[in-house]
Structure 1
Amino acid sequence: MTDVTKTRKPLSIVTKLCYGIGGIGPDLIWLVFGAYTSTFLVQVAQLPPLFATSVIFGSRAIDIFCNFLFSPLIDRTNTRWGKAKPWIVASLLVITVTNALIWYVPDVGTGGKLAWYIILYVLMKLAVSGFHIPFRTYVMFLTDDGSDRDSAVLYRTGLSLGGLVGGSAIHGQILALYRRSEYDACDMINTTYMYGANNTNRSMDGASLEMTKNGYLISSAALCLFTLAGSLAVSFGTTERKDISRTSGGEGSAKSLLRTLKTVLTFRPNVCLLLAYCCNQAAVSIVHGAIALYVEYSLDREDQIENVILASMVSSALAMPVVAFVVSKIGKKTCYLCSQLVAIPLFIGYQFVPSGSLAVYAIVIGHGFSSGAHFFIPWALMSDIIEECYLQTKERLDTAFFAVLLSANSIGITVGLIMATIGLEIGGYELGSCFQPESVGSAMRTLLAIFTSALVFVGVLFIWKFPITEERQKEIMEAVKKRKLASASQHDASQRNGSLSDMNQEALIPQETSSSIPNGLQEEDKLVSSDTDLSVLSVCKESAV
């Protein structure tokens, strides 16, 4: 009997590294989108806050439903490179082109710019969905070993966060360089000279705006290089196992799709994870979407925006070894639960940071450590959920499960970004003004402290109800191993039966021989007359021997 656990080598470090590098570009682009979309649309593109909300909501709403559309398309893909890899590489190329255009501000008026950004944001979201679903599922197609999958997810998360640190530094410092240029119309010396010391509604001039636009364009070119590097790494550094991927997915019909969605959306462990992840992701997205506005208008420390965002990313990256160690000691569920409980007082702390204080660094660094667990553990838990469903239903629905989790991710991000722009509207944000009323800063404080804490608390409740404990995970791994061994045994038996069947078929075909009676048969052993051709018995005897 063939032992499949011994014939397959564990994933190499090179494969894990190449898999992780593939996600750096899109994740970095997504981070920049989350942190700078609201600021870019209202300050640089000069769109009213409600228009910016329309752009964000329109693109995100399409993303939520496109995840369900892409899942069956990916399942039905069958190429020499497999199911997932063609989608990953093609989507990365589209993301690169779209990202190069999306930070350009066309001179077509407010209505034209609104249409421009809606179209590009929708294209970007389609490309990102076409990337993330196969890329997240790809870990299931690289190996069938649970520990190898968790290790690959850890590599991916760590490399992604490391890339986010480097990319955030590049993006932030480029913007800071152009913001602090000699054309800064909001500098106090320039504005006092131009408008007088008592003016409270000074607007950015055209030269300063053009410099800021150039900063975004140069930064986007750097992000595109990260994405192209990821495309090359996945193309040449990883190999999809078709023996796994070909068993994933349903029949592809509308009825099968609805049945698959029903199975995924009613599977209790998945429901608990989806609700918990959606709440926690909404809280994280509120921070990403509003932290720049909070630092500028609540703390009056515009010069620290890039450094605060960078500190959060560095702490998340440094947290990954700690999270991996804690998971190995207490399990995924307990680690995720504890990390989110710790995040609640940190969120509340945003309310009490004094204006002009640098105490915000302590909060964002602590929040970065809790975010590290959020970025890694839910995706590792999804592997356990898929295997548990496989044991119960005998169906592999890898792509569908990851698509639904990505939809929950999109819902959380959408809620977070929309709440950030709505907070600006409620706070009375004045479009194009260098100075904003104090109500804008108060709205950002309330948003970051109260709403995020409430969302995380609800998420903690759903994590508490998550049924796959560490003990159950070990049982799942053992059961899956036994099922694979049984499947391999049946496969070997089928091959042996097939070989014997072929030999018997050959044996039953009469052969021409020189003697009608095979050697070694005595007269008393004959069961038929001497005229009968008994050469077939010779063949059968040789086959038996």
Structure 2
Amino acid sequence: MESSTSETANSVKTPNELLPPELQKLSVVEKIGYSLGDLAANLIFQTLMAFLAFFYTDIYKIPPAAASLVILIGGIVGAFFNLAMGAIADRTNTRWGKFRPWILWTAIPFGVISLLAFSTPNFNENGKIAYAFITYFLLVLVYSANNLPYSALSGVLTGSMKERNSLASYRFTAVMVAQFIIQVLLLPLALSLGDGDKANGFEKVMLVFAITGVICFIITFFTTRERVIPAKEQKTPILQDLADLSKNKPWIIMLVLTILVFITLATRGGMNIFYFKYYLTEASQVQFLELIGFEGIIAWLGTIFTPEAFTEFSKSDNAPYAVASLSSALSTISMIVGIAFSKPLADRFGKRNIFGWFLTASAITLIALNFLSPTAVISVFVAQICFGFLYGITTPLLWTMIADVADYSEWKNNRRATAIIFSAMIFGLKVGLSVGGALSAWLLGVFGYIPDAAVQPESATTGIRLLMSVIPGLIFLTAASLLFWYPIRKETEVEIERDLAARRSKYAADQVV
């Protein structure tokens, strides 16, 4: 009797365990483990967005027009691989699931190719262009093979839309940590580790990033579990998947929106270092550093690292690098604060509304930069902080909305194709990143930019200002306007989640019978 009572007590399930597996809450360990995959990927992705054009033109000394073609062609070709990767991932079947194994399989290749892409072998100009193209092309391929399954994994860890919002907050906090590392620490570390030689410094920093990334991907693999499993009898032809997508209105809207958002981020991110180096005056930035006691900050950092770690970074002729890094630091911190507001706002008002409102506000903040003078360093800081907070609220929502689109497709068609939906969105991301990076590199040439020149023509500084403000701001506004036609509102989210949970429970019950 005692044994029976004990057995009964042990078999009592908590409310979470009584839910279908795909609606159970995710543990903090799983959320952190999943988010480490984004930390790993974004150590590379954020470097591409913020420094690829600068790395090619000012460090590896590739002509801007050639750098533009490398970024555009390599990126676009790599983007099309996403579509094939989506079909492959959806049809992968292992004891670990569909998507988790790809994170494990690609971890080491990702690290190795990332290091090669930011190395600077001593070739002639044509050799440098060929090397840049080959390594960048391989990087976008392995990035697709890794990040597409990783992104799709978020759609099958849980079927609960609230849990996805929570997961996205963890995930994009990790993204912001990576962004902070890249935008704030990469340049000073590259300058210091390379003893002033930026090429050597970049290679050393990327080696650290590559090793860190491999470790993080392996942790992601071991700490996550796929719960939303399609019916075993579902064997949808690829053409049927594509036909479903062509009729999926929210997917079409999110695809175009994703392209526009990443054109903006790549354009603005690529211009950030140019803006501080060539648009804002060096004298005003030196004065700003004196005002905030930058030497004291460097001394404090020396107690954390080593006194020599930031020696190069603290030199007066590197003031634009210092101010750019400080600005990025504050902007990234404000993004992390914004992310904290994302989930409660989305739960209350719906993802579509919050995304649209704050994307519009972010665009207005960007456009405001156009009206600041080359000496208005403090005002630039304020604008960057405001942008960081406003855009930070939107960052988790893009990917949770794409997961919702996968649910919407299953709801409408009774077929789940998570990876191909995410692959199309990452296709959009790659197209946006490639177009934005190529656009900024190409327009630099059009505006008369002279690589690594001490003084730029007025046309070049004007172009850099526009590429940092008005151009990305207008693209953001265009993206936000698309959400007027996005049909998945808050009440639709609730209906989809309820209906799919009922279908999956019925399927599970039928399997038991």
CA contact (8 A) 2:342 2:394 kept: no
Could you tell me which of 273, 279, 295 is aligned with 2:260? 279
CA distance in 2, matches of 1:147, 1:5: 17
Could you tell me which of 304, 308, 323 is aligned with 2:342? 323
Could you tell me which of 64, 73, 78 is aligned with 1:63? 78
1:288 aligns with 2:273: no
- Change in Cα spacing, 1:328 to 1:88, as seen in structure 2 (3 Å) is same
CA contact (8 A) 2:340 2:393 kept: no
Q: Deviations over 1:512-541 (max 9, x none)?
A: xxxxxxxxxxxxxxxxxxxxxxxxxxxxxx
CA distance in 2, matches of 1:249, 1:296: 55
CA contact (8 A) 1:89 1:231 kept: yes
CA contact (8 A) 2:251 2:405 kept: yes
- Change in Cα spacing, 1:444 to 1:18, as seen in structure 2 (3 Å) is same
1:120 aligns with 2:141: no
Q: Deviations over 1:395-448 (max 9, x none)?
A: 001011100111111121122111211221012122353332222110011222
- Change in Cα spacing, 1:356 to 1:250, as seen in structure 2 (3 Å) is farther
1:339 aligns with 2:358: yes
Shift of 1:83: 1.6
Shift of 1:162: 2.1
CA contact (8 A) 1:59 1:121 kept: yes
Shift of 1:178: 6.4
Could you tell me which of 16, 19, 24 is aligned with 1:6? 19
Partner in structure 2 of residue 407 of structure 1: 427
Q: Deviations over 1:421-478 (max 9, x none)?
A: 1221012122353332222110011222222122122112111111111011111111
Q: What is the correspondence of 1:361-372 to structure 2 with a 5 Å cutoff?
A: 361-372=381-392
CA distance in 1, matches of 2:247, 2:100: 29
Q: Deviations over 1:275-326 (max 9, x none)?
A: 2222222112211111111111111342422222333222212211112222
Q: Deviations over 1:53-88 (max 9, x none)?
A: 011012111122000111122122222222211211
1:230 aligns with 2:216: yes
How many residues are treated as equivalent by the alignment? 458
SS at match of 2:250: helix
CA contact (8 A) 1:278 1:408 kept: yes
* Paired letter, 2:180: V
Larger radius of gyration: 1
Q: What is the correspondence of 1:4-403 to structure 2 with a 5 Å cutoff?
A: 6=19, 8=21, 9-177=24-192, 211-241=197-227, 244=229, 250-251=235-236, 256-301=237-282, 302-303=320-321, 304-358=323-377, 359-403=379-423
Partner in structure 1 of residue 289 of structure 2: none
CA contact (8 A) 1:294 1:445 kept: yes
1:475 aligns with 2:495: yes
1:451 aligns with 2:471: yes
* Paired letter, 2:215: A
CA distance in 2, matches of 1:76, 1:118: 30
CA contact (8 A) 1:11 1:148 kept: yes
Structure 2: runs of 5+ lacking an equivalent: 1-12, 283-319
CA distance in 2, matches of 1:159, 1:334: 24
* Paired letter, 1:357: A
* Paired letter, 1:121: Y
CA distance in 1, matches of 2:234, 2:136: 29
SS at match of 1:141: coil
CA distance in 2, matches of 1:176, 1:307: 15
SS at match of 1:33: helix
* Paired letter, 2:351: K
CA contact (8 A) 2:260 2:475 kept: yes
**CA RMSD, Structure 1 to Structure 2 (Å):** 2.2
* Paired letter, 2:31: K
- Change in Cα spacing, 1:386 to 1:234, as seen in structure 2 (3 Å) is same
Question: Normalized against structure 1, the TM-score is what?
Answer: 0.80
- Change in Cα spacing, 1:379 to 1:482, as seen in structure 2 (3 Å) is same
Partner in structure 2 of residue 186 of structure 1: none
Indicate the larger mover: 288-297 or 369-378: 369-378
Shift of 1:265: 3.2
